[in-house]
Amino acid sequence: MTLAALSMQPAHASLMPQPARLSPGEGKLAINQSFRVALSGYQEPRIHAATQRLLDRLARQTGMPLVTELERDPGRATLVLHCDRAGEPVQSPAEDESYRLKVTATGARLDAPTPVGLLRGIETFLQLVEVDRDGFTASAVEIQDQPRFPWRGLLLDVARHWMPLPVLKRNLDAMAAVKLNVLHLHLSDDQGFRIESVKFPKLHQRGSDGSYFTQQQIRELIAYARDRGIRVVPEFDMPGHATSWLVGYPELASLPGPYQIERAWGIFDACLDPTREEVFEFLDVFIGEMAALFPDGYFHTGGDEVSGKWWETDTRIEVFRRERTLGGHQDLQAYFTRRVQAIVSKHGKTMVGWDEVLRPDLPKDIVVQSWRGQKSLVEAVRQGYPSILSHGYYLDHIRPAAFHYRVDPLENEAAALTAGQKSRILGAEACMWAEYVTAENVDSRIWPRAAAIAERLWSPQEVRDVGSMYRRLAAVSRRLEWLGLTHRSSYSLLLQRLAGDSPVGPLQVLADILEPLNLGGRAKARHYTSETPLNRLVDAVRPESDTAREFAESVDRLLAAPAESNARDRIRPRLELWRDNHLRLSPTLRRSFLLQEVTPLSEDLSAISAAGLEALNHLASGQRLSPAWLEGRKDLLKRAAQPRAELQIQVVAPIRKLIEAATRKF
Amino acid sequence: MTLAALSMQPAHASLMPQPARLSPGEGKLAINQSFRVALSGYQEPRIHAATQRLLDRLARQTGMPLVTELERDPGRATLVLHCDRAGEPVQSPAEDESYRLKVTATGARLDAPTPVGLLRGIETFLQLVEVDRDGFTASAVEIQDQPRFPWRGLLLDVARHWMPLPVLKRNLDAMAAVKLNVLHLHLSDDQGFRIESVKFPKLHQRGSDGSYFTQQQIRELIAYARDRGIRVVPEFDMPGHATSWLVGYPELASLPGPYQIERAWGIFDACLDPTREEVFEFLDVFIGEMAALFPDGYFHTGGDEVSGKWWETDTRIEVFRRERTLGGHQDLQAYFTRRVQAIVSKHGKTMVGWDEVLRPDLPKDIVVQSWRGQKSLVEAVRQGYPSILSHGYYLDHIRPAAFHYRVDPLENEAAALTAGQKSRILGAEACMWAEYVTAENVDSRIWPRAAAIAERLWSPQEVRDVGSMYRRLAAVSRRLEWLGLTHRSSYSLLLQRLAGDSPVGPLQVLADILEPLNLGGRAKARHYTSETPLNRLVDAVRPESDTAREFAESVDRLLAAPAESNARDRIRPRLELWRDNHLRLSPTLRRSFLLQEVTPLSEDLSAISAAGLEALNHLASGQRLSPAWLEGRKDLLKRAAQPRAELQIQVVAPIRKLIEAATRKF
């Protein structure tokens, strides 16, 4: 998109997620210091708090002091917020989140049946505000909006690396900004038990290294989330992924222990013992405590990746299995699941489990979370289970936003489902597993990519233009900074740490075209534990290189229409910058022990860019590059495409395209 | 300084403020994940908290998880912190802040007589840690350090624009990092009364627009400051600058009112009435309340800029004056000062006042704060008053760090003082008046420049190399980011707000060589009030352009040694970038109403850079520029040197130098 074309975009073209229905109006509403809000209809503290946040954020977005008192006369207000009635006492997937927003040149009105709908509409209104030649304005528009799926979540793993409360709060703000409505907190795993238990205090005392949420903090978090129309669903992973429970309570295991908090990543054998009634008595008390703390109607008990080894090799457990005619350890897990489901149900909650829990003869009020493939999602709803999709939405897989954007819960295997079956697909959750992120870079791993998933789950199915998505994603990303997200600001800070007292510019030129390996690649590259510092370049670079994507687009445009100079004018300075960068960067690389591993990447970027420039010159002159020339660069291109230092150069493929084009006949 | 030379600098060369005595040692101490701290000698909660902050900050600075438990065996610790004894129950200027720090290749030991000395030494230790080719290290060194002046302050005006608690806390962190030890809170002025009074609640209720510190917040702030070895001195400005008092309590004035919170800037006539006993009764109760809240031994009652108009024109006051044979309004102010001093003293505090309070026959235990010139500082100490200097340290005057750095409390008029007189100069305070700053840009107006002042006040008088100061200032500035200061991160955020959805790069190229006018220039440019948005480019640009300073240095080097190519290689790309920038920036300027005023500056930067390039070419070729050529650019150069949009292009002078050199004979 050229700058001129960009300037023609009306403001509503940067909305994300796109609303269900939108009709552009005439003119623009001026947003100036006479901006006033009036409330009408049903009122409650949540609406008042949301209105104050709206005013605060508008003041930040514009840099204008605004009057924060409400206008009593709706006729004199710039924006009227009207709510019909109270929402659900505890928000559920059935909550009405719809709203109608009408902006004209003289005023704006937001109507919603519930406070949550009002919250959604306020985010839309704030996205409409932009700076133009006349002032801050909101384009006239009429919007009728509601979500496509009622369950739009983000899983945050606070067990593998600890994420303190401020991290969660700012991510709740970001979630609300893109209309996500479920924070799934993965609160326990082999590496940590992250919540205070009054009933069993050794869980957090012995299982957390001192990093856990107090119950008071959890209440604060839930209130903060509810204020933003977001549910908080706790997950306590069992019977596997449970080492941290056993540090304080080894009697929950079938082996005597003692146990230590697990420091490595992976699947471990440690399991709760499904054969002893004391274990279920413990779980009854514990789940009762947590069910009272978390008001949400859903309660996640994990159930993934049970190694089964302990259960297969323990004579006592074998006897137990045989007595009950249970087959392998999966049958035993199904037995465990049934028992736990009964406890969860007794405490008034609906159980949620990872797709491994899907076994015959389970009660149907279990929500299945599909992570191993869309197939399990389809199987679950066919068997009558409500379900949510996470396969395809794993943020730690370091896929581009476009990849996640193209995953649709109702497509692929799900396309053939009946309407009734489809209605059991409640939605989806993006997953941020925390083996390779810490509080200082987690924002950059979630945002802005999660906003693309948020749009997939909120907007109509036919909203799928990837170019439009990326353009709007950039706008969302910039605006999230005003909410305190650190996904952009942490980048220069982390690069500066690597560069020490050297100027950070050349390092950023390199970092801008690198992407980290995903968790599989990293696990293969070295032995990581929870104590391994995540302070290398791989931890600083962004999961998706905008620079590389835009460069690849320019190359494609050039090769599609070699006569047009526009794309060439974008390609050449980039290649020159990269070609010359190693010379500028190498003193910095030499001075920092953390950067020495990056030297081959920097060298190769310069070398392939030099080759790319030669190709570009040949393309311009119409002279073919010789086969011998190409042969001489084969090793370089091959090497440059290989990951080193757990990093991947993202511009190898487009440069290779340039070279291949210049070696073909024209 | 070239990069190669920079890499040769030992880590202690980036210390700021420089210590009183430093001897480099052999080798380096490795800072890795086995880093442990042990405490020895006297212990108290403040030391434990400081140790945890040290570990947290080291973990952030290095990105390494560190063990936060203390090491019990000093022999096994990497760093031993030893404190001799408790410090003062309420920190005073007499507190011992000295410390000794010895770092060897095998360990480090910090010795201090008091916890405050330990705090100072911890900051030095953290500054020693750097990344190098072997890892994170601290250079071996032996340091014996203590401050030159006991009073090293920062005044923060929270009255003109409100600064909420998080702004103050992060600035306290920054102050501690550069060893400043007094936060002077300017809590009341015509535009706002910023603290809760239980005795006279209409002060904050009617005088603050709802923006004030509760007493609980003040206690929290004081504890936070004490934890960092910083005193908090409150200022209640009287009898002038007091409009906000009168909104709730018009009876304190000699005119009946009613009064409104003042929105404009300047000196106003509103004054407390010095002739009525009720006013002193009010002040007695009020000062008693505040003296109990603020533990510090000093209590600032302002006294500056009393208009006197009311006192000169009121018959009743005239009678009062005549009865007491008081001359003009200044004598009346002296009478008021004496009465207030007695109240302050009764409540156990030493009064501090602006230099206008300096009148004959005052008790000598008043500290005089000199702001109108160094002369009043000298006069005050000659008359026997302890005093502190602020003239020359006004951050809102938008002077370069080098300017403030060259101001020394004991030089100029003070050089001729006797040793005894000099000893009454307690130190100085940097002043951040808040007419033209808000919470979102105040950090960038204070930091890093205040660190240069901090060095002037801590380090030996002979530490005065400006080049070294700027190099170390850059390091301090980067490190302050880890403490959460926003002086750097706010820049791109504010520029992005101005640019809207346009790319921010070209705007930053321009902004990087602009500086804002100071408060005098701004007041002349337009009528400002507290409600005027501070959201223009003048509010986003930094108070001192590093780019312009470095460019000017390159030009000076080139002209001093035209044969050396190094400086030319730095000058040419800059000039080319600036010459081409207007073309890239103009679409952005056109699209944002906030940027249209900047167009002439952008045009002129491109034009003078083109002229500068011509001059550079002629200098290289040895061919003189013709007088006609020069004549044709006279208007341009004159215009480019003029402020527009309250902004000043900072590279006009060096470009003019290039041009003048190219028009002279060689």
Contact between chains at B591 and A4 (C-beta distance less than 8 A): no
> pLDDT class for A233, splitting at 50, 70, 90?
very high
Q: Locate tokens 């992060």: which residue? A: B170
Helix pair B652-663, B599-621: axis angle to 10 deg = 30
Check pLDDT > 60 for residue A1: no
Q: What are phi and psi of A436, to 5 degrees?
A: -120, 25
Q: State mean pLDDT over A128-145.
A: 96
Contacts of B63 in chain A (CB under 8 A): 440, 494, 497, 533-535, 539
Rounded-to-integer distance, Cα A437 and Cα A433, Å: 8
Check pLDDT > 70 for residue B475: yes
Check pLDDT > 80 for residue B300: yes
Check pLDDT > 90 for residue A6: no
Mapping DSSP onto H, E and C, the string for A556-597 reads HHHHHCCCCHHHHHHHHHHHHHHHHHHHHHHHHHHHCCCCHH
Contact between chains at B133 and A500 (C-beta distance less than 8 A): no
Give chain B's mean pLDDT.
95
DSSP H or E stretch at residue A521: helix A519-525
Question: What is the reported pLDDT for B10?
Answer: 60
> pLDDT class for B622, splitting at 50, 70, 90?
confident
Which residue spans within A49-96 are E strands per DSSP? 79-83
CA-based nearest distance B131→chain A, Å: 6
Interface of B with A in 89-128 (CB under 8 A): none
Contact criterion met (CB below 8 Å) for B526 and B602: no
Question: What is the reported pLDDT for A566?
Answer: 85
Torsion of CA B645, B649, B652, B653, to 10 degrees: 110
Contact criterion met (CB below 8 Å) for A632 and A617: no
CA-based nearest distance B253→chain A, Å: 29
Report the residue of chain B nearest A539, measured CA to CA: B63
Cβ-Cβ pairs closer than 8 A, A with B, add up to 112
A276 is written with which tokens?
Answer: 């002893």
Question: What is the reported pLDDT for B380?
Answer: 95
In single-letter form, the type of residue at position B382 comes to: R
Contacts of A14 in chain B (CB under 8 A): 501
Q: State mean pLDDT over B500-528.
A: 96
Q: What are phi and psi of A622, to 5 degrees?
A: 80, 10
Contacts of A210 in chain B (CB under 8 A): 68
Partner residue opposite A593 with nearest CB, options B63, B135, B587: B135
Q: What is the pLDDT of residues A587-608, one digit of tens each?
A: 999 999 999 999 999 999 999 9
Q: What is the pLDDT of residues A307-349, one digit of tens each?
A: 989 988 889 999 999 999 888 889 999 999 999 999 999 999 9
Question: Does residue A3 belong to the interface with chain B, where contact is any CB pair within 8 Å?
Answer: yes
Interface of B with A in 295-354 (CB under 8 A): none
Question: What is the reported pLDDT for B5?
Answer: 37
Rounded-to-integer distance, Cα B457 and Cα A170, Å: 39
Q: What are phi and psi of A340, to 5 degrees?
A: -70, -40
pTM score, two decimals? 0.95
Interface of A with B in 187-216 (CB under 8 A): 210
Q: What is the pLDDT of residues A240-267, one digit of tens each?
A: 999 999 999 999 999 998 999 999 999 9
Question: What is the reported pLDDT for B3?
Answer: 34
Given the residues A71, A305, A318, A597, select the one marked as catalytic: A305
Check pLDDT > 70 for residue A666: no
Check pLDDT > 60 for residue A656: yes
Q: How many helices (H) and strands (E) does chain B have?
A: 26, 18
Helix pair A466-480, A449-458: axis angle to 10 deg = 120
Half-sphere exposure of A119 (CA within 13 A, CB side): 31
Rounded-to-integer distance, Cα B455 and Cα B474, Å: 14
Rounded-to-integer distance, Cα A17 and Cα A147, Å: 10
**Three-state SS at A104:** coil
From the list A242, A185, A657, A175, the residue with the least C-alpha distance to A450 is: A175
Give chain A's mean pLDDT.
95
Q: Locate tokens 């070239």: which residue? A: B2
Q: What is the pLDDT of residues B133-178, one digit of tens each?
A: 999 999 999 999 999 999 999 999 999 999 999 999 999 999 999 9
Largest CA distance in chain A: 82
Contacts of A63 in chain B (CB under 8 A): 440, 494, 497, 533-535, 539
Which residues are registered as beta bridge partners of A154?
A183, A430
> pLDDT class for B506, splitting at 50, 70, 90?
very high
Partner residue opposite B587 with nearest CB, options A7, A135, A475: A7
From the list B624, B427, B587, B564, the residue with the least C-alpha distance to B507 is: B587
Contacts of A60 in chain B (CB under 8 A): 440
Contact criterion met (CB below 8 Å) for B654 and B559: no
Tallying the residues shown for chain B, one arrives at 666
In single-letter form, the type of residue at position B656 comes to: R
**Three-state SS at A62:** helix
**Residues B433, B436, B440: CA angle, nearest 5 degrees:** 95
Alpha helices (runs of H) in B295-328, residue ranges in sequence order: 309-313, 315-323
Question: What is the reported pLDDT for B8?
Answer: 41
Question: Does residue B512 belong to the interface with chain A, where contact is any CB pair within 8 Å?
Answer: no
A159 is written with which tokens?
Answer: 């067990």
Report the residue of chain A nearest B482, measured CA to CA: A493
- The answer to whether B305 is a known catalytic residue is yes
- The DSSP 8-state label assigned to residue A264 in this structure reads B
**Cβ contacts of residue A605 below 8 Å, gap of 6+?**
A510, A513, A578, A581, A582, A640, A649, A651
Question: What is the reported pLDDT for A93?
Answer: 98
Rounded-to-integer distance, Cα B175 and Cα B170, Å: 9
Contact between chains at B489 and A494 (C-beta distance less than 8 A): no
Q: Between A666 and B102, where is the model more confident? A: B102
Q: State mean pLDDT over A369-396.
A: 95
Contact between chains at B6 and A64 (C-beta distance less than 8 A): no
Question: Does residue A593 belong to the interface with chain B, where contact is any CB pair within 8 Å?
Answer: yes
Alpha helices (runs of H) in A302-433, residue ranges in sequence order: 309-313, 315-323, 329-346, 374-382, 401-406, 419-423
Question: What is the reported pLDDT for A7?
Answer: 37
> pLDDT class for B329, splitting at 50, 70, 90?
confident
Q: State mean pLDDT over B511-529.
A: 96
> pLDDT class for B308, splitting at 50, 70, 90?
confident
CA-based nearest distance A6→chain B, Å: 8
Question: What is the reported pLDDT for A549?
Answer: 97
Question: What is the reported pLDDT for B603?
Answer: 98
Question: What is the reported pLDDT for A3?
Answer: 34
Q: Between B594 and B326, where is the model more confident? A: B594
Partner residue opposite B132 with nearest CB, options A61, A497, A593: A593
Contacts of B7 in chain A (CB under 8 A): 587, 591
In this structure, how many other beta carbons lie within 10 angstroms of the beta carbon of residue B436?
Answer: 26
Question: What is the reported pLDDT for A360?
Answer: 86
Given the residues B71, B220, B289, B305, select the one marked as catalytic: B305
Contact between chains at A535 and B478 (C-beta distance less than 8 A): no
Which residue spans within A473-589 are E strands per DSSP? 514-516
Q: What is the pLDDT of residues A12-26, one digit of tens each?
A: 678 999 999 999 999
Question: What is the reported pLDDT for A328?
Answer: 85
DSSP H or E stretch at residue B284: helix B277-293
Check pLDDT > 60 for residue A2: no
Check pLDDT > 90 for residue B328: no
Question: What is the reported pLDDT for B665?
Answer: 60
Chain-centroid distance, C-alpha A245: 27
Q: State mean pLDDT over B322-344.
A: 93
Interface of B with A in 472-491 (CB under 8 A): 474-475, 478, 481-482, 489
Q: What is the pLDDT of residues B388-397, one digit of tens each?
A: 999 999 999 9
Rounded-to-integer distance, Cα A36 and Cα A367, Å: 44
